[in-house]
Chains A and B, each alone.
Chain A
Amino acid sequence: MIDGRGWGSRILRIYLPVMGFLVLMLFPFYWMLIASIKPNRELYNAKIMPLIVYQPTLKHYYDLFADTNFLLWTYNTMLVAVITTAVSLVLGAMIAYPLARMNFPGAAIVAVGVAATYLVPQPLLFIPMADIINKLELGNTLSAVMLTYPTLLIPFCAWLLMGYFKSVPRELEEAARIDGASRFQAMWRVVLPLTVPGLLSAGIFAFTLAQNEFLYALIFLAKSEVRTVPVGAITELIRGDVFYWGQLMAAALLGSIPVAVIYSFFVDYYVAGLTAGSVKS
């Protein structure tokens, strides 16, 4: 089969399976889009063919902006994601750099500790964390999530960046040191500029992780004004048994766009970040 030439074989082993995967993976997004522009009379009519829109409308988008704090949720989500990503990138790099390039007592313990921290899942932490945030009187503030997201992001950034920092040849750093550069200057002027792709990968990945976070946001943000998009959508567009499907889909689609746009600009960095952990050697 793999040796097969000609169109028939190419269709069978390439185009058909590729189409299949694309349809399976993208259908929910198509479904999101058309549900968000269907008028209610089409949305809630089991008789008509549901795969297309007959009379598209932007009413759900209008209602979403008029009736909910969606814009505020978007602002909150972005603010939290940008700040936590920046903080985590800096602290993660500061952890990764010595672990990757220095010999010092305790290095092995810290390295194992950071790896373990990355793998300890949030579910083990959220109940004690809820109590701690409560005691710090940070409930219903964005500080609560800004303080907790980095627990997920720092270990990830550190772990990813270690690989990149290791890849810079020691000779370059040594040459700079002989020319009188301090350790800090060697890092800032020599190693960091060479690892910009790694910093981009870690940053983009951390940003999507921050946008994806839900559990802490759900627990800590009970007031509408401080909510993030996922929490706002799921708590305020579903009230009891009533689902505001059109608005839900509009919110889901609009909430996905920032991540998707950033991702589209940096696909290769994102893939590098995704695979760097597992594809090292």
Chain B
Amino acid sequence: MAVRPDLVARSAPVAVRPRLLHGALEREGAFSWIMLAPGVLFLLAFVAYPLFYGVWLSLQDRPVAKPGVFIGLGNFVTLAHDGVFWQVARNSFVYTIVTTVLKLLGGLAMALVINQHFRGRSLVRAFLLLPFIVPTILSTVAWMWIFDPTFSVINWVLVNTGVVSGGFSWLGNKTLAMVAIIIVNTWRGIPFYGITLLAGLQTISPELYEAAAIDGASIRQRFLYVTLPIIKPILIIVTMFSVIFTFSDFQIVYALTHGGPANATQVFVTYAFDLGMSGGQLGMGAAAALAMLPALAVMIVALTLYLRRQS
């Protein structure tokens, strides 16, 4: 390894007498920064700047198309005194935690099932991933029809099998509306967990299981002491990713319930959308969106550090 810089340094001048730009491009630092510049500048302009501009907006009373007035933490104070805000926070946590547990268990089950040998396995894997690749809004449209108050197929099955006498109003009832968005998010997320965890399972060498079996380990023990420790890093990364994206989910809730009935399924992003876009209060909306930053920041920092440690 120590030889490399010398080699490069010596070979370059010998090859061609470098022109100025050419010479610069051969230096690692200059070459790197010339390559990085367009992308990094773009991200600074359209991610970093909006992020800070959002913070600035959240400190203003700022209706659409009018100049803003600086009001310090006024928006946050108003939010903190609004019962709806705390309901939104609770909804977001319930939605995230329940779906994460369900997706984790469902995805693990899916991965274990497909990890067995059977004909058509890769075809099955391809089909099972469909919910995750089809645009969310479009598949949620199908779920809207599944949950339709009058023509819900779930109700039809429940009534015709005699489980209940009358159908549920899935999206009209506060609890059931939450159940509905949880079902759809879980449905869409299970394949993500399942296929990713499957990739992890496939890295486990069969000899490990054979050795464990020879030592007399039961199926349960093999799972707990062979499978689980090996897929643990993947499990952690997938879960953290999923938590970040579920916590900031918009599409499923917006399409299915719009946050209703009576804010029963309102989550941070739909709430910020209502305040900032529908309500035209950019400052208040920005504040509501930023309110999810503390919880999110913990996850983002943890995941960034974990990923760097892994690589």
A residues with a Cβ closer than 8 A to B are 1-2, 10, 13-15, 17-18, 21-22, 24-26, 28-29, 31-32, 35, 43-44, 46, 50-51, 91-92, 94-95, 97-99, 102-107, 110-117, 119-132, 134, 147-148, 150-151, 154-155, 158, 163, 170, 174, 177-178, 180, 182-184, 208, 211-212, 214-215, 219, 229-231, 233-234, 243, 245, 248-249, 251-253, 255-256, 259-260, 263-264, 267, 270-271, 274-275, 277-281
Name the contact of A127 in the complex, choosing from B54, B139, B144 (C-beta under 8 A): B54
Name the contact of B139 in the complex, choosing from A28, A44, A98 (C-beta under 8 A): A28
- Check if B264 is an interface residue, CB within 8 A of chain A: no
Name the contact of A25 in the complex, choosing from B65, B137, B191, B290 (C-beta under 8 A): B191
Q: How far is the CA of A267 from the CA of B247 in the complex (A)?
A: 28
CB neighbours (8 Å) of A2 from chain B are 219
- Check if B162 is an interface residue, CB within 8 A of chain A: no
CB neighbours (8 Å) of B46 from chain A are 129, 147-148, 150-151
Q: How far is the CA of A25 from the CA of B269 in the complex (A)?
A: 26
> Which stretch in B22-30, B78-86, B95-103, B171-179 binds the other chain?
B22-30
A141 to chain B, nearest CB (A): 16
The residue on B at minimum CB distance from A215 is B250
Those 8 A-B pairs whose CB atoms lie nearest each other, nearest first: A98-B32, A121-B248, A230-B137, A128-B54, A91-B39, A275-B199, A252-B138, A104-B29
Q: Which residues 5-39 of B have a CB within 8 angstroms of A?
A: 7-8, 11, 15-16, 22, 25-26, 28-29, 31-33, 35-36, 38-39
B272 to chain A, nearest CB (A): 7
Knowing that A105-B29, A119-B304, A234-B137 are A-B contacts, what are 6 other residue pairs whose CB atoms are under 8 Å apart, sorted by A's residue number?
A104-B29, A115-B308, A121-B245, A128-B54, A134-B65, A154-B39
- Check if B181 is an interface residue, CB within 8 A of chain A: no
Contact B142 A252 (CB under 8 A): yes
B71 to chain A, nearest CB (A): 16
A72 to chain B, nearest CB (A): 17
Name the contact of B32 in the complex, choosing from A22, A104, A128, A274 (C-beta under 8 A): A104
Majority SS at the chain A contact face: helix
Q: Which residues 33-68 of B have a CB within 8 angstroms of A?
A: 33, 35-36, 38-40, 42-43, 46-51, 53-54, 57, 65
Q: How far is the CA of A2 from the CA of B219 in the complex (A)?
A: 7
Q: Which residues 198-238 of B have a CB within 8 angstroms of A?
A: 199-200, 203, 219, 233-234, 237-238
With contact pairs A174-B7, A278-B241 given, residues A121 and B296 touching in the complex (Cβ less than 8 Å):
yes
CB neighbours (8 Å) of A28 from chain B are 131, 139, 142-143, 146, 187
Q: Which residues 250-265 of B have a CB within 8 angstroms of A?
A: 250-251, 254-255
CB neighbours (8 Å) of B32 from chain A are 98, 102, 104, 107
Most A-side CB within 10 Å, residue of B124, B133, B151, B269: B133
Contact A32 B54 (CB under 8 A): no
The residue on A at minimum CB distance from B239 is A278
CB neighbours (8 Å) of B310 from chain A are 280-281
Q: How far is the CA of A28 from the CA of B190 in the complex (A)?
A: 14
CB neighbours (8 Å) of B145 from chain A are 31-32, 35, 245, 248-249
Q: How far is the CA of A114 from the CA of B311 in the complex (A)?
A: 15
Contact B128 A127 (CB under 8 A): no
Q: How far is the CA of A255 from the CA of B15 in the complex (A)?
A: 55
With contact pairs A127-B57, A279-B196 given, residues A177 and B133 touching in the complex (Cβ less than 8 Å):
no
Name the contact of B116 in the complex, choosing from A14, A114, A127 (C-beta under 8 A): A14
Contact A98 B135 (CB under 8 A): no
CB neighbours (8 Å) of B250 from chain A are 123, 214-215
Report the contact-size class of chain B (Cβ under 8 Å from the partner): 35 or more
The residue on A at minimum CB distance from B32 is A98
A42 to chain B, nearest CB (A): 10
Name the contact of A263 in the complex, choosing from B33, B133, B142 (C-beta under 8 A): B133
Contact A104 B33 (CB under 8 A): yes
Name the contact of A255 in the complex, choosing from B11, B50, B138 (C-beta under 8 A): B138
Q: Which residues 130-157 of B have a CB within 8 angstroms of A?
A: 130-131, 133-139, 141-146, 148, 150-151, 153, 156
Name the contact of A114 in the complex, choosing from B43, B124, B299 (C-beta under 8 A): B43
CB neighbours (8 Å) of B254 from chain A are 214
Name the contact of A174 in the complex, choosing from B4, B109, B142 (C-beta under 8 A): B4
Q: How far is the CA of A148 from the CA of B57 in the complex (A)?
A: 19
- Check if B300 is an interface residue, CB within 8 A of chain A: yes
Q: How far is the CA of A124 from the CA of B54 in the complex (A)?
A: 8
Contact B136 A119 (CB under 8 A): no
Contact B286 A277 (CB under 8 A): no
Name 20 A/B residue pairs within 8 A (Cβ), A-sorted. A1-B219, A22-B127, A28-B187, A29-B134, A94-B39, A104-B29, A117-B47, A124-B248, A131-B282, A174-B7, A180-B16, A182-B25, A215-B251, A215-B273, A230-B137, A256-B135, A264-B126, A275-B195, A279-B199, A281-B233
Contact B141 A249 (CB under 8 A): yes
Q: How far is the CA of A50 from the CA of B124 in the complex (A)?
A: 26
- Check if B170 is an interface residue, CB within 8 A of chain A: no
Q: How far is the CA of A44 from the CA of B149 in the complex (A)?
A: 12
With contact pairs A127-B285, A182-B25 given, residues A177 and B141 touching in the complex (Cβ less than 8 Å):
no
Q: How far is the CA of A107 from the CA of B32 in the complex (A)?
A: 9
Contact A112 B308 (CB under 8 A): yes
Q: How far is the CA of A32 from the CA of B153 in the complex (A)?
A: 12
